[in-house]
């Protein structure tokens, strides 16, 4: 019977776990809806703004003030690694940490690599493993605002203009749907020009000058691009957590069913054994 008691305790423990994982799934589902709406609304604007700025800046020389398109000999690279502050979301954080590590230790192993970390999970890992972490911005997730992201973007842009970094790469999870996140390592700076030069040709009248427009809009585009990456990652995080908690709840339910079946069989066997003992005792008395 002691064995049956242990099984009952395990079943009760699993039921408590199911309640927790089910609640976490519902919380993530609610947060995902808001985060998904935010990124779906921003993404078309950000993509079109980036496309327009790339085409405009492609026709300008670096001497015209287009300092964010300057392509220097690459020696120093900055990685912006975007994870979350919390776990329990499957491989969401591990995938970004792994991709960043592979880029630094393999693809760009001959360069001076630095990291700006957004999210406690990447901050803790890269600090612990002695990577060159320039700064961390874990508190950004307390309230994700465009103004908060602008501070990070301006710092990166100033460092690039001053020649501190020759290339900046964003590493983050792009939100596709609740079950799918796409790992991105996206070139942030310098601003890339289209391979097809004819794509920049257009019959436009610029007022004020094209240079003034580019100088004004490129910083705005870069700030929006970073904001989009962080919103993408935030939505992907809740999608990954919702999926992970859904699977955890299903697995706990399966385990509970298996233990319940085992408990019923063990209980039935114990009852049968007691009946046989009673019958045997009665027969001994009658004999």
98 — pLDDT class (breaks 50, 70, 90)? very high
- Indicate the pairing of strand 167-177 with strand 180-189: antiparallel
Q: Mean pLDDT for the chain?
A: 87
Q: What is the pLDDT of residues 65-79, one digit of tens each?
A: 468 888 889 999 999
| The one catalytic residue among 14, 39, 89, 156 | 89
2-20+246-286, which class in CATH? mainly alpha
- Beta strands across the sheet bearing 112-118: 133-136, 112-118, 76-82, 167-177, 180-189
What is the value of pTM for the model shown?
A: 0.85
Taking a C-beta distance cutoff of 8 angstroms, is the pair 199, 57 a contact?
no
Any idea where the domains of the chain sit in the sequence? Answer: 2-20+246-286, 31-244
Active site residue 113: no
207-261, pLDDT tens digit by residue?
777 777 777 888 888 999 999 999 999 999 999 999 999 999 999 999 999 999 9
Q: How many residues does the chain have?
A: 287
| 3 Cβ contact list (under 8 Å, min separation 6) | 266
What CATH architecture is 31-244?
Answer: 3-Layer(aba) Sandwich (3.40)
Which residue is associated with the tokens 């990954």? 240
Give the integer Cα–Cα distance in Å for 159 and 174: 26
Number of Cβ atoms within 10 Å of the Cβ of 37: 11
Q: For 179-211, how does the pLDDT look when each residue is reduced to its tens digit (9 = 90+)? A: 899 999 999 999 876 665 545 545 667 777 777
Separation of alpha carbons 241 and 179, rounded Å: 9
Q: Please, are residues 80 and 169 in contact by the beta-carbon 8 Å criterion? A: yes
């Amino acid at each position: 019977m002691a064995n049956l008691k242990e099984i009952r305790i395990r079943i009760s423990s699993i039921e408590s776990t199911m309640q927790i994982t089910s609640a976490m799934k519902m919380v993530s589902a609610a947060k995902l809806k808001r985060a998904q709406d935010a990124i779906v609304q921003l993404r078309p604007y950000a993509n079109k703004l980036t496309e327009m700025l790339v085409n405009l800046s492609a026709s300008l020389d670096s001497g015209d003030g287009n300092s964010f398109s300057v392509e220097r000999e690459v020696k120093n690279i900055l990685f912006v690694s975007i994870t979350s502050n919390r776990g329990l979301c499957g491989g969401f954080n591990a995938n970004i940490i792994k991709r960043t590590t592979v880029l630094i230790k393999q693809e760009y192993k001959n360069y001076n690599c630095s990291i700006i970390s957004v999210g406690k999970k990447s901050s803790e890992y890269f600090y612990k493993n002695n990577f060159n972490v320039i700064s961390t911005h874990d508190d950004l997730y307390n309230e994700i605002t465009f103004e908060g992201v602008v501070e990070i973007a301006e710092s990166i842009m100033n460092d690039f203009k001053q020649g501190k970094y020759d290339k900046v790469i964003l590493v983050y999870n792009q939100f596709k749907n609740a079950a799918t996140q796409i790992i991105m390592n996206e070139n942030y700076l310098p601003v890339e020009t289209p391979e097809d030069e004819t794509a920049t040709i257009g019959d436009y009248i610029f007022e004020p000058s094209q240079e003034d427009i580019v100088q004004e809009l490129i910083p705005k585009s870069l700030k929006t691009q970073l904001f989009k990456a962080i919103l993408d990652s935030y939505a992907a995080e809740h999608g990954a957590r919702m999926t992970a908690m859904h699977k955890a709840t299903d697995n706990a339910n399966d385990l509970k069913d298996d233990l319940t079946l085992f408990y019923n069989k063990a209980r039935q066997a114990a009852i049968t054994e007691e009946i046989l003992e009673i019958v045997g005792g009665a027969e001994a008395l009658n004999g």
